[in-house]
Every structure is written in structure tokens, then in C-alpha cells.
Amino acid sequence: MSDFGAYLSACQHRIDTYLTQQLQTGEPRLERLFSAIRYSVTHGGKRIRPMLAYACCEALGGRPERADTAAAAVEAIHAYSLIHDDLPAMDDDDLRRGHPTCHIAYDEATAILAGDALQALAFQWLAQATDLQANTRLRMIEVLATAAGPIGMVGGQAIDLGAVGEKLDLPTLEKMHRHKTGALIRASVQLGALASEQVSEEQLKALGVYADCIGLAFQVQDDIIDIESDTSILGKQQGADLARDKPTYPALLGLDGARALADTLRLQAIEALQPFAGDALRLRQLADFIVQRQF
Ligand code: GRG
């Protein structure tokens, strides 16, 4: 395994252990709810957001344990968003990460509550992280609430739902993704940086540029992976027909255009890390990983 592969595995192990510890209950009447929460959080997932939080904290000289709460909070919000996105009222999906979705494995009411609980837990964990200064915790709560709420992820989901059946142009597609997926990726970077408790406003600004570039690159690559898997299942013509009907980057730019955009964003992200020199190795590698991943 490469050095970076080992780093990813170590981060995944760290956050999985931390989340599993946090998501236990001794109350028998709450066991079904906690079981649904653990099922949704611990059944797979690349853990890109926690990795960004850890890598950012480390780039600023903070030890990984300082970023445990930040990493867990962003992953909890991400897990809640996937549970709710899969519900019949939204995407109505039966499978997530190759397993039955939460409302199929449990039931719809439990899935709604599991998502609600994860959202609340994210903020509870941040508020209770007494190893961090009170003003750091307050700022982290503000950053995460803004990213998750109506001018962030929830707003992006609303734009997406409101545009069903419409042909979106490139600026509208970008706006939707900057809210829906980009906002939480940006928060992962910001929370990791704040957890170091030694980040300047200038460094936060540079990391914001990095995060915006990788956030969009993440979505472009996600669209590319979707088209490539449709094409390998349905064949080239049907895959291309399906691709044209969805508001995606390959539909608007062609597959080669989308690949070029993802790479341009990757390079812009890496450029934004210049002030951090060698300290940002993991963040550079994560930018490469986000664009080169095939899953
Ligand atoms: C329901 C409030 C609410 C919001 C939902 C993020 C979102 C908004 C919906 C997810 C829909 C989706 C599949 C978007 C594409 C990009 C994306 C977020 C993919 C999943 O993220 P990964 O690849 O997932 O990091 P894993 O499984 O690795 O954790």
C-alpha cells in the first residue's frame, strides 16, 4: 500500500473508532434508533470529509486528536443528509453504499429520526468539545450550521428539487453543487483548521479557495463516475442518451470537457496551498484523490 493509501486507512480507522464509541446507548428503548444511526454511519463511506478535517488540522501543526470532534461532526451531518436524501419524499432510493437504505433496513419514521438525531449530535459534540477553547467551539458551530442550513447544503437540495425536469445551464448547476455538496466540504476544511487553534484569517482564506475548488471537483468527478458506470452497464449509446437527460457536467461539457474541468479545479486547489509549502502534502494528495477516484 502506498504511503497515502496507509494515511487514508489510518484516518478511516480513526474516525470509525471514534464514531462507534460516540454512538452507543445504554437505554434499551433507544437501541433501535441508535442501531439505525450506527447502521447508516458505519456501513461504508469513503470518509472524505473527516480526512479533510484531519489533514487540515495537521497542515497547521495540530495533532489529529484535536480534530476528532470536527471530523465526527461533519461526517454526522453528511450521514444525516444521505439518510434524508434517500427517503421516499426525496430520491426514494433502496440502496446506499451497496446496502439497503436506512428506511428500507428499518422504517421511514426511524430513518427520519436517525437523520434528525445525527444533525443534533453534530452540534452537541462540538459544543461539548472542552479540549477546545469556547470561542473556537462557537465559531465551529457557526461554520457548520451555516454550511448545513438553507444557505448551504439544505438550500442546495431545495434548488435541486425545484429544478426537476428543467435543463440547467452551467452557472445554475455550479450554484446548486456549491451549496449541496461544496458547502459541507468547505466546512470540513474550515473545522479542521479551526481545531488546530493556530490558524490565521489569511490561512483560512487560502484554505477556503482550496476547499471551493475541491468541492466542485468532487461533484464533477462524481458525475463522471456516474456516466462511466451507466455506460459500462448499458452500453455506450444508451449511457450517452441517459447522460444527456440529467443535469450533469458531462451532459453540459461532454466527458472530455468534464475531465478537463476536474483537472483544472484540482490544479487551482493545489495552487491555493502554496502558503503552506510542505505542510500541506496530505491536502495536495487529497485533491489528487478526489479527482482520480473511481468510486
Ligand atoms: C436531504 C438535507 C438533505 C440534503 C441532501 C448531499 C445531499 C443533500 C444529497 C446527497 C445526494 C448525492 C448522492 C449527491 C452527490 C454527491 C454526494 C454528496 C455523494 C456522496 O458523498 P460521498 O461520495 O459518499 O462522500 P460516501 O458514501 O463515500 O460517504
Rounded Cα gap, residues 115 and 102, in angstroms: 9
99 Cβ inside 6 Å of ligand 1: no
Q: What is the pLDDT of residue 1?
A: 63
Give, using CA atoms, the residue closest to atom 10 of ligand 1: 82
Q: What is the pLDDT of residue 165?
A: 85
Ligand 1 atom with least separation from CA of 79: 29
Query: SS3 for 208?
Result: helix
Rounded Cα gap, residues 46 and 41, in angstroms: 11
Ligand 1 centre distance from Cα of residue 62 (Å)? 28
Does residue 242 carry a pLDDT above 90?
no
Ligand 1 centre distance from Cα of residue 215 (Å)? 12
Ligand 1 centre distance from Cα of residue 198 (Å)? 30
Q: What is the pLDDT of residue 278?
A: 81
Ligand 1 centre distance from Cα of residue 284 (Å)? 22
Residue among 180, 221, 224 whose CB has most ligand 1 atoms within 8 A, to mutate = 180
Rounded Cα gap, residues 268 and 175, in angstroms: 18
Per the structure block, which three cell numbers stand in for 258? 468534464
Give, using CA atoms, the residue closest to atom 20 of ligand 1: 82
48 Cβ inside 6 Å of ligand 1: yes
Q: Which residues pair with 99 in a beta bridge?
A: 96
16 Cβ inside 6 Å of ligand 1: no
Does residue 39 carry a pLDDT above 90?
yes
Rounded Cα gap, residues 192 and 25, in angstroms: 27
Does residue 237 carry a pLDDT above 90?
no
Ligand 1 centre distance from Cα of residue 181 (Å)? 7
Ligand 1 centre distance from Cα of residue 85 (Å)? 8
If you write DSSP's letter for every residue of 81-123 in order, what string do you get?
A: HHHHHTSTTTT--SEETTEE-HHHHS-HHHHHHHHHHHHHHHH
205 Cβ inside 6 Å of ligand 1: no
Given CATH 2.40.50.140, say whether it is the number of domain 2-292.
no
Length of the chain: 295
Where residue 244 falls among pLDDT bands split at 50, 70, 90? low
Rounded Cα gap, residues 171 and 178, in angstroms: 10
Rounded Cα gap, residues 165 and 168, in angstroms: 9
Per the structure block, which three cell numbers stand in for 266? 484540482
The backbone region for 79, taken as left when phi is positive above 0, alpha when psi lies in -120 to 50, beta otherwise, is: alpha
46 Cβ inside 6 Å of ligand 1: yes
Rounded Cα gap, residues 157 and 163, in angstroms: 10
- Compute the mean pLDDT over every residue in the chain, rounded to the nearest whole number: 94
**Can you tell me the ipTM of this complex?**
0.94
Among residues of the chain, what percentage have pLDDT more than 90?
A: 87
Instruction: Say what the pTM is.
Output: 0.94
Ligand 1 atom with least separation from CA of 156: 8
Rg (CA), the chain: 19
Q: What is the pLDDT of residue 108?
A: 98
The domain limits of the chain are 2-292
Per the structure block, which three cell numbers stand in for 274? 502554496
Query: SS3 for 96?
Result: strand
> What are the pLDDT digits (tens) for 130-184?
999 999 999 999 999 999 999 999 999 999 999 988 888 999 999 999 999 999 9
Give, using CA atoms, the residue closest to atom 27 of ligand 1: 45
The one-letter amino acid code at 208 reads G
Kindly state the helix (H) or strand (E) to which residue 60 belongs, with its residue range. none
Does residue 87 carry a pLDDT above 90?
yes
Mean pLDDT score, 29-51:
96
Q: Dihedrals φ, ψ of 191, to 5°?
A: -65, -40
Ligand 1 centre distance from Cα of residue 47 (Å)? 12
Does residue 206 carry a pLDDT above 80?
yes
If you write DSSP's letter for every residue of 243-282 in order, what string do you get?
A: HHHS--HHHHHHHHHHHHHHHHHHHHHHHHTGGGGGGGHH
Q: Dihedrals φ, ψ of 63, to 5°?
A: -70, 150
Give, using CA atoms, the residue closest to atom 23 of ligand 1: 46
